[in-house]
Structure 1
Amino acid sequence: MFDKLIAARQKAEEIKKRLDNITVVGEVEVEGGIIKVTATANKEVTAVDIDHVFLANADKEELEELLAVAINHAIRQADNISQTEMQGAAKDMLGGLGGLL
């Protein structure tokens, strides 16, 4: 039983490392430009790119709102990938139970 706990912990660490290397992008297209947020599948934002033409013409409230939308889009994508990875790992670990699950 202890060996299975150690194996599960190691598998979780492997998944976390893999998620650090998966990139997701949340984009919002706006009048004449794009706001793009890049993050890892572990939900760490690594870059924000705001089209310079849009930035020059945007007001603060509009920029804040659209930036939040782009960040949330990237985080949702990261959540989806993370859930898929964890479900796959759980299936692999539980697969040896003779198909009871």
Structure 2
Amino acid sequence: MFGDLMGMMGKMQEAQKKIEETKKRLDTVLIDEKSSDGLLEVTLTANRTIRSLHISEELLGDKEQLEDYLIMVLNKAITKATNINEAELAAAAKDGMPNIPGMDLFK
């Protein structure tokens, strides 16, 4: 019984290590998003850290339009990054977790 428990604990530690490695790797996965007219471009990591932002001169004269563009483009990029982040972390967690009957956490 204790051997099984120790084996499960080892697998859980291994899963935690895989999750941490995945988080580090997601810092290198870049998501590029831009407005349909290309006036605003943003790049962020799959961990949702903004890496770069390019704003066209055309947008600098209209504060309200710039704010609208920022909200629209950043939200699209954050949604993409979140989807990648969640899928990758779920896969890493599922891959390393011990098979415990009745504990189908990641279907």
TM-score range for the pair, normalised by the shorter chain length: 0.7 to 0.9
SS at match of 1:37: strand
1:43 aligns with 2:45: no
Any gaps of 5 or more consecutive residues in structure 2? 1-7
Deviation of 1:97 after TM superposition, in Å, equals 2.8
Instruction: Output the aligned Cα RMSD.
Output: 2.2
Alpha-carbon offset, residue 62 of structure 1 = 0.8
Pick one of 85, 95, 99 that aligns with 1:97.
99
Task: Pick the aligned partner of 2:67 from 54, 64, 68.
Answer: 64
Runs (4+) off by over 6 Å: none
Distance 1:99 1:25 in 2: 41
Secondary structure at the aligned position of 1:49 is classed as strand
Q: Percent identity, please.
A: 38
Separation in 1 of the partners of 2:56 and 2:83? 27
1:97 is paired with a residue whose SS is coil
CA 28–99 in structure 1, closer or farther in 2 if over 3 Å, else same: farther
Structure with more of its chain in strand, by fraction? 1
Which amino acid is 1:67 matched to? Answer: L
Structure of higher RCO (CA pairs closer than 8 Å, 6+ residues apart): 2
Per the alignment, in what secondary structure is the counterpart of residue 29 of structure 1?
A: coil
TM-score by length of 1: 0.80
The TM-score with structure 2 as length reference comes to: 0.76
> Which amino acid in structure 2 is aligned with residue 18 of structure 1?
R
Unaligned runs of 5+ in 1: none
